[in-house]
Chains A and B, each alone.
Chain A
Amino acid sequence: MSQHSSTIEPSSAQTSAHLEKLEAESIHIMREVAAELDHPVLLYSIGKDSSVILHLARKAFYPSKPPFPLLHIDSTWEFREMIEFREKYARQQLGLDVIAYSNQEGVQADINPFDHGSKVYTDVMRTQPLKAALDHYGFDGAIGGGRRDEERSRAKERVFSFRDKQHRWDPRNQRPELWNLYNTWKKSNECLRVFPLSNWTELDVWQYILQEQIPIVPLYFAKPHPVVQRDGEWIVVDDERMRLNPDEKPVTKTVRFRTLGCYPVTGAIESEATTVEEIVHEMLTTRVSERCGRVIDRDESAAMERKKREGYF
């Protein structure tokens, strides 16, 4: 053993910048998942957080490919550009194993956000197929892009979050997370949700996209789109399935998205930001939260928490 008496630390001590620290932590988490779980999957929603997660997964296992497939729960109401991006970038350019999974019963029953409301629609076309897909493929761990800064109820979420065999989240029965020692012991029918971006903020995500030049869906950049205004949100008319109220007439506005999901329930913001740099700059000056544009989160107070307990990611 070397001596313990010295208390002077080397003066060359360098603290890495925050993105480097966040990156290292996320990579560590993903390697733990790969090493300790039997059959993990990366939940790929095609949004900016998913793009960052995917990039981190590639870095974590380079020069190998990430040792898990990507799973996209396709609600069938995504923006067309998202599906295009999934196919061209993730599947073709990177050559990754991408599973797209939809609730076929829901499709046949024509469950849509117009007739059934965002609550029922989200449950049938997102939450239920997610559980079904995890069961169907026997995944025991699912890596997602959730961040604690997204929403109040997420502030207490663990990095490794336990779900019982019904995929329920019990906020009172979560394991303490000490140091970077994650407890991944579990029963065979339990499934873990893992959030490597827990400590990232929206600004960190954008700064990292800028630094690493990570490809993202073009919808994040401002562009003229046909839009209608609903509940103070700009909703983009992405295809002919959009139902317009009698008094609604689409107008063309230059907008972009801060979050992406199903187009009829995702609000766009007016913006002139056409590059990642401009988006970071916008982030540094905005006064509105990112979830402001998500209709589903405003259904009721504590909406997110309830959705999580039901198994929504």
Chain B
Amino acid sequence: MSTTPLTSNEHGQRLLAEHSSKEMLRFITCGSVDDGKSTLIGRLLMEAGAIYDDQIAALQQDSEKHGTTGGEIDTALLLDGLEDERQQGITIDVAYRYFTTAKRKFIIADTPGHEQFTRNMVTGASTANLALILVDASKGLLTQTKRHAFIASLLGIKHAVLVVNKMDLVDYEQSTFEHICQAFRNFAAKLELPDVRFVPISALKGDNVVQPSSNMLWHEGGSLLHMLEHVYIGGDENLRDLRFPVQWVNRPNADFRGFSGTVASGCLRVGEEVTVLPSRKTTTVERIVAMGSDLSEASASKSVTVTLKDEIDVTRGDMLVRRDNQPYVRREADAMLVWMSEQPLASGKQYWIKHTSHRTSGEVGDVLYSMDVNTLHRLPATTLQLNEVGRCRLSFHDPLMFDPYRRNRHTGSFIMVDRISNETVAAGMFLDPEMDVEEEHWETEPSRRLQRVESRVAMQQRSAKYGHAPFTVLITGLSGAGKTAIATKLEQQLFDSDHKCVVLDGQAMRFGISRDLGFSAVERSENLRRAAEISKMLNDSGLVCIAAFVAPHADVRDRMRDVVGHDRMVHVHLTTSIETCRQRDTSGRYVAADEGKIADFPGVTSPYEQPDQADLMIDTEDNSVDAAVDQIINLLETRS
């Protein structure tokens, strides 16, 4: 080894400073050897300098012995750790790799892509910020790609990168890439993946892996490594809801009683009031003790020790929260389970449960359904087998203090352990007990006992009295396209011409009727379903309804038309480009979405499916609000 230049020079100091403080990004790689996954990881590690020269030399030797590349370096061998697996030529577990750049430290959880290894992928995904989903450009989206995307979404991974590999096999064709991306977008719209990115690469040739490729100048998103270094993950931690599960009671002597733990979410501050669960006693944080000097605050993922002002009985498994922001405390809850054992789930059997720092026991009462991880279809089920995923109703021996997994990864997750073999049999993720937000109700049948009340006023009488037939105008488009401005102007004009009108707008819905809904694809869908039902009621009462919604999904818009009635609904779509919407935006929402701070922002962090058969398309770049309203009125006149 050569003599190293010492650090007394400026270069050395800069190098030290550059590497002193980095963000850490944990990601999972999903794909099979066939997709070139090992080649990709090997290349990332080698080009990032994580493989030392003597390891490359050892790899060279191994390549000659076991490799499939005819003596050339087989980077796949770099990744296989265990002797017998290497001889079988398959990887069967989660392996962790590390590399670092001047910007970030990376931890890769490398998991195999086959269906029978769902359990391994779930394990790797449970601690990941980001998922790399590999696709072979020459094969396109496969069933396994959808499975990988589903598991990433199930485990609450917020950032996904679809890595379209082997672009060299398709002559670096942009259209092939775009086609695969679109197919993926369509599928991912059904999932909870707020931030999806795309990158075309050739791991074998090194295109777009670390350096941007001159073979794909049409790709403007930069290389994969550039993406990994820059994706904004600062918003991933839940900093709103204080949850501090007590892990250890620290009592060196009678004068000191500290409570140690890792802040699961939110922020603890000295002097602030906290409530201890389950006792519900309230006190104040006195000190946040650390070797060296005390801290004034500690936010999510920090491991700290706190002392409290009052002598309250607190033990391991208890939780410090805020009085006005508490988790659910329940003995029964629904959760998604991923079954990880050869022994199938047995309903009614007692299992050990570990949730935060709390150990208890519990059982599965009902399996509500299992999920086909390839098609996302729900299947009737009474048990779960190895690698199966399903929704279950559980009951616990003690009350658990939990949040829905979607909201809080740390207080929303638990494991189930067999009481005899001690093996971990399941990974559990709590669903929200109050809001079935993962449900949309387009298909839900109303109860058969319900009866419709017949009105004594006939539709013809209403139309005659009001002077017009009822109809619904659905105005759709990106945020900032001008939907609400057009809707209110249209309302005014129709009102002036003696129409009885109501405006339904996406925001207004969320003030009340849809207060419980968020902005995921499913929740947007449910919001529009409710709007559709209201439109129908208004129309049935003879009134005109103007509905202004982002409505990013084509199938959801179609369903609204089905509910309202094809002859009663007119669909006006504002084709205004995202660039224009972005320029008009004064609320900062586009900027926030670009930084990844807003999940599910159609057009930016989630797809917007442009309609191809709207009744009217208006570009509000060229048309004023008045002009747009005139066009709509003209259309309505021709229709009536």
Q: Which residues of A pack against B, CB within 8 Å?
A: 1-5, 7-25, 27-28, 31-32, 34-35, 58-65, 148-149, 152-156, 171, 174-183, 185-187, 198-199, 201, 203-204, 207, 211, 269-273, 277-278, 280-282, 284-289, 292, 301-302, 305-306
B-side contacts of A302, CB under 8 Å: 83
Q: Which residue of A lies closest to B252 (CB)?
A: A64
State whether A176 and B424 are in contact (beta carbons under 8 Å apart), knowing that A1-B434, A59-B291, A156-B95 are contacts in the complex.
Answer: yes
Q: How far is the CB of A86 from chain B (nearest CB, A)?
A: 21
Residues of A within 8 A of B325 (CB): 1-2
- Known A7-B518, A35-B248: A22·B235 in contact at CB below 8 Å: no
B100 lies within 8 A of A201 (CB): yes
**Contact assessment for A8 and B592 in the assembled complex, using a CB-CB cutoff below 8 Å:** yes
- Shortest B374–chain A CB gap in Å is 21
Q: Is the CB of B262 within 8 A of A9?
A: no
Please tell me if B15 contacts chain A, counting CB pairs below 8 Å: yes
Given contacts A185-B417, A271-B1, 13 further A-B contacts (CB under 8 A): A7-B598, A9-B235, A11-B592, A11-B597, A24-B301, A24-B302, A155-B96, A179-B415, A181-B354, A181-B414, A271-B4, A288-B53, A288-B54
Contact between A175 and B235, CB atoms less than 8 A apart: no
**25 sampled A-B residue pairs with Cβ under 8 A:** A2-B241, A4-B407, A4-B432, A4-B516, A5-B517, A7-B519, A8-B597, A9-B235, A9-B597, A10-B240, A13-B235, A15-B234, A18-B21, A18-B105, A19-B21, A20-B302, A31-B248, A63-B252, A152-B81, A171-B82, A176-B424, A181-B413, A201-B105, A305-B81, A305-B82
A146 → B minimal CB distance (Å): 12
**Residues on B with beta carbons closer than 8 Å to the beta carbon of A15:** 23-24, 233-234, 237
A156 contact from B93, B260, B427, Cβ within 8 A: B93
**Which residues does chain B contribute within 8 Å of A154, judged by CB atoms?**
81
Q: How far apart are A174's CB and chain B's nearest CB, in angstroms?
A: 8
Q: Which of A31, A60, A199 has the most CB of B within 10 A?
A: A31
- Expressed in whole angstroms, the minimum distance between the Cβ of A255 and any Cβ of chain B is 10
B323 to chain A, nearest CB (A): 12
Cβ-defined contact, B24 with A22, below 8 A: yes
Q: Using known A-B contacts A178-B413, A178-B427, determine if residue A62 contacts B20 with beta carbons closer than 8 Å.
A: no
| Chain A min CB distance to B387 (Å) | 12
Would you give the shortest CB distance from B162 to chain A, in whole angstroms? 22
Minimum distance in angstroms from A131 CB to a CB of chain B: 21
Q: Nearest Cβ in chain B — how far from A134, in angstroms?
A: 19
**Chain B: CB-nearest residue to A63:** B252
- Write out the residue numbers on chain A whose beta carbons fall within 8 Å of the beta carbon of B424: 175-176, 178, 183
A270 touches B3 (CB 8 A): yes
Total interface residues on B, CB under 8 Å, equals 107
CB of B279 within 8 A of chain A?
no
Expressed in whole angstroms, the minimum distance between the Cβ of A241 and any Cβ of chain B is: 27
* B97 in contact (CB, < 8 A): yes
Q: Is B122 an interface position by the 8 A CB rule?
A: yes
A13 and B234 within 8 A (CB): yes
Whether the Cβ atoms of A4 and B437 lie closer than 8 Å is yes
Chain A residue at smallest Cβ distance from B301: A24
Q: Chain B's nearest CB lies how many Å from the CB of A289?
A: 4
- Residues 502-529 of B, flagged 1 when their CB comes within 8 A of A and 0 if not, give 0000000010000111110000000000
Pairwise interchain contact B83-A288, C-beta atoms closer than 8 A: no
B599 surroundings in chain A (CB, below 8 A): 7
Q: Measured between C-beta atoms, what is the minimum distance from A46 to chain B in Å?
A: 21
CB <8 Å contact, B22 and A281: no
Q: Is the CB of A284 within 8 A of B19?
A: yes
B116 interface hit (Cβ, 8 Å): no
Residues of A contacting B79 in the complex (Cβ-Cβ under 8 angstroms): 155
Q: Residue B182 at the A interface, CB < 8 A?
A: no
Indicate whether A286 sits within 8 Å of B247 (C-beta atoms), given known contacts A11-B597, A281-B12, A305-B82: no
- Tell me the smallest distance from the CB of B46 to a CB of chain A, in Å: 12
Q: Is there an interface contact between A155 and B290, defined as CB atoms closer than 8 Å?
A: no
**Shortest Cβ distance from residue B477 to the other chain A in the assembled complex, whole angstroms:** 20
Q: Determine whether the beta carbon of A177 is less than 8 Å from that of B83.
A: no
Q: Which residues of B contact A155 (CB under 8 A)?
A: 79, 81, 95-97
In the assembled complex, the CB of A293 is this many whole angstroms from the nearest CB of chain B, namely 10
Partner of A176, one of B247, B340, B517, B597: B340
Across the interface, which residues of B come within 8 angstroms of A65, CB to CB? Answer: 252
B558 to chain A, nearest CB (A): 26
Q: Are A13 and B21 in contact (CB under 8 A)?
A: no
Q: Which residues of B contact A306 (CB under 8 A)?
A: 83
Give the chain B neighbours of A148 by CB distance below 8 A: 96, 98
Nearest Cβ on chain A to B258's Cβ, whole angstroms:
8
9 A-B pairs with least C-beta separation: A9-B235, A17-B21, A289-B52, A27-B303, A64-B252, A13-B234, A62-B291, A24-B303, A18-B24
Task: Check B55 for interface membership: any CB of A closer than 8 A.
Answer: yes
Set of chain B residues within 8 Å of A277, measured between Cβ atoms: 7, 16
For A301, give the chain B residue with the smallest CB separation.
B62
B120 at the A interface (CB under 8 A): yes
Are A199 and B107 neighbours in the complex by a CB distance under 8 Å? Answer: yes
Closest-by-CB residue of A relative to B324 is: A2
Q: Which residues of A contact B598 (CB under 8 A)?
A: 7-8
**Which interface residue of A25, A171, A176 has the most chain B CB atoms within 10 A?**
A176
* Contact mask for chain B residues 444-455; partner A; CB cutoff 8 A; 1 contact, 0 none: 000000000000
Name the CB-closest residue of B to A55: B291
With a cutoff of 8 Å between Cβ atoms, the chain A residues found around residue B147 in the complex are none
Question: How near does chain A come to B287, taking the closest CB pair, in angstroms?
Answer: 11
A161 vs B195: C-alpha distance when bound (angstroms): 35
Tell me which residues across on chain A come within 8 A of B6, comparing CB atoms.
Answer: 272-273, 278, 281
- B261 neighbours in A (Cβ, 8 Å): 31
> Are A62's CB and B417's CB within 8 A?
no
Q: Chain B residues with Cβ under 8 A from A287's Cβ?
A: 52-53
Closest CB-CB distance, B517 to chain A, in whole Å? 7
Which residues of chain B are within 8 angstroms of A35 by Cβ–Cβ distance?
Answer: 247-248, 316, 357
Q: A14-B234, A22-B24, A180-B410 are in contact. Are A187 and B81 (CB under 8 A)?
A: no
User: Is there an interface contact between B260 and A60, defined as CB atoms closer than 8 Å?
Assistant: yes
Q: Looking across the interface, which residue of chain A has its beta carbon closest to that of B127? A: A179
Q: How far apart are the CA atoms of A179 and B262 in the complex, in Å?
A: 13
Set of chain B residues within 8 Å of A24, measured between Cβ atoms = 262, 301-303
Q: Name the residue in B65, B83, B194 with the highest tally of chain A Cβ atoms < 10 Å from its Cβ.
A: B83
Collect the chain A residues with CB atoms within 8 Å of residue B352's CB. 185
Residues of B within 8 A of A301 (CB): 61-62, 65
* B250 interface contact, C-beta 8 A: yes
CA separation between A59 and B239, bound complex, in Å?
A: 24
Q: Is B299 interfacial (CB-CB < 8 Å)?
A: yes
The answer on a CB contact under 8 Å between A282 and B4 is yes
CA distance A304 to B239 in the complex (A): 42
With A179-B413, A201-B98 as given contacts, are A13 and B422 in contact (CB-CB < 8 Å)? no
Residue of B nearest to A271 (CB): B4
Residue in B100, B262, B301, B354 whose beta carbon sits within 8 Å of that of A183 in the complex: B354
Bound form: Cα–Cα A32–B256 in Å: 21
Task: Please determine whether A4 and B24 come into contact, CB atoms closer than 8 angstroms.
Answer: no
CB neighbours (8 Å) of A181 from chain B are: 354-355, 413-415
Could you tell me if A186 and B422 are in contact, using CB atoms closer than 8 angstroms?
yes
Distance between Cα atoms of A171 and B256 in the complex (Å): 43
